[in-house]
Chain A
Amino acid sequence: MEIQVNGQWREFPEGTTVAEVLDALGAARQGVAVALNGEVVRRGEWPDAVVPKGASVDVLTAVQGG
């Protein structure tokens, strides 16, 4: 199935969790937050939160700015 990760469509197996998307992205675990279809997924829920087909997952971190 396809999932949109940080704006790019990528192929994942059915039943993929948020934690597995983070692994695939290679993103750091500290200092990041995840939105699934525009809703925050709390850190403790990452291993159990299943990403539905066609969902958008955004992984954000802090950068220089402001």
Chain B
Amino acid sequence: MADMVQDGDQLVIGEYKLSSRLVIGTGGAANLAVLERALVASGTELTTVAMRRADAEGGSGVLELLRRLGIALLPNTAGCRTAAEAVLTARLAREALDTDLVKLEVHADDRTLLPDPLETLDAAEQLAADGFTVLVYTNDDPVLALRLEEAGCAAVMPLGAPIGTGLGIRNPHNIELIVSRASVPVILDAGIGTASDATLAMELGCDAVLLSTAVTRAADPEKMASAMRSAVIAGRLARGAGRVPQRFWAHASSPPR
């Protein structure tokens, strides 16, 4: 099933081409062995990492794991509250990891972790002008999504629900509105709780799904990663297949007597 979809159906973000439409975040995994099994089961080719102060022990080993698995790094700016902090973090990530990819996220507060739209837009403009391939975490706001695209973002990533809540896609219509007007990839980011949420994102027309908690904190991360892989493929196929219109009354599927 996977091959049928993936052949020639690539996700193109700036100059990057990916066969998998599932982007995984590495946060929340109990340990690296669990993370490795989940990443392999997910089939992902792009995975987020966070930037933090280095201590003498020299990192958590996640870089070595991702390099060994041949998975591209998507450094994020999580923890930044201002555009200035996010721009510096992105530049440090580019220097440390030798990539121009960045997941721009500027959180307004710890309780909601919702994106601060003004700081996010400011940072997006600066980073795009500085040559970054910016994948931007944003509210499910169709107007803001367009503004971020105009600012030069290579992909817009609206939330389904706040980070880590597993509440699914709270405003599917807004996601459809964003998809209908975007000319860069739309990646549903945050809020995914289970496989049907990921399928819905793809059925709504999203180009990919980014999730972490739903897999890394599931009772069986490897099994959930496998479910998410299939879910994204199923949603992509269904979107392309063209669903039947919804009807109020029954419509017989057997011939009349």
Q: Which of B87-95, B146-154, B177-185, B236-244 contacts A (4 or more CB under 8 A)?
A: B87-95
What is the 8 Å Cβ interface bit string for chain B, positions 41-68, against chain A (1 contact, 0 not)? 0000000111111111011101100000
Size class of the contact patch on chain A? 20 to 34
B92–A26 touching, CB < 8 Å: no
| Residue in B52, B56, B76, B78 whose beta carbon sits within 8 Å of that of A60 in the complex | B52
Q: How many A-B residue pairs have CB under 8 A?
A: 111
The minimal Cβ–Cβ distance linking A28 to chain B, given in whole angstroms, is: 4
A66–B48 touching, CB < 8 Å: yes
A1 interface hit (Cβ, 8 Å): no
Size class of the contact patch on chain B? 35 or more
Mark out the residues of chain A between 18 and 60 whose CB falls within 8 Å of any chain B CB in the assembled complex. Answer: 25-28, 31-35, 38-40, 42-43, 58-60
B63–A64 touching, CB < 8 Å: no
Given contacts A33-B92, A42-B95, is CB(A62)–CB(B55) below 8 Å? no
A7 interface hit (Cβ, 8 Å): yes
| Residue in A27, A40, A66 whose beta carbon sits within 8 Å of that of B25 in the complex | A66
A7–B49 touching, CB < 8 Å: no
Give Cα A33–Cα B54 distance, bound, in whole angstroms.
Answer: 9
Give Cα A63–Cα B96 distance, bound, in whole angstroms.
Answer: 12
B62–A64 touching, CB < 8 Å: yes
**What is A's interface to B at a CB cutoff of 8 Å?**
6-7, 25-28, 31-35, 38-40, 42-43, 58-66
Sampled A-B contacts (21; CB under 8 Å): A6-B53, A6-B54, A26-B58, A31-B97, A32-B54, A32-B59, A33-B94, A35-B92, A40-B95, A58-B92, A60-B54, A60-B92, A61-B53, A63-B60, A64-B27, A64-B50, A64-B62, A65-B26, A65-B50, A65-B52, A65-B76
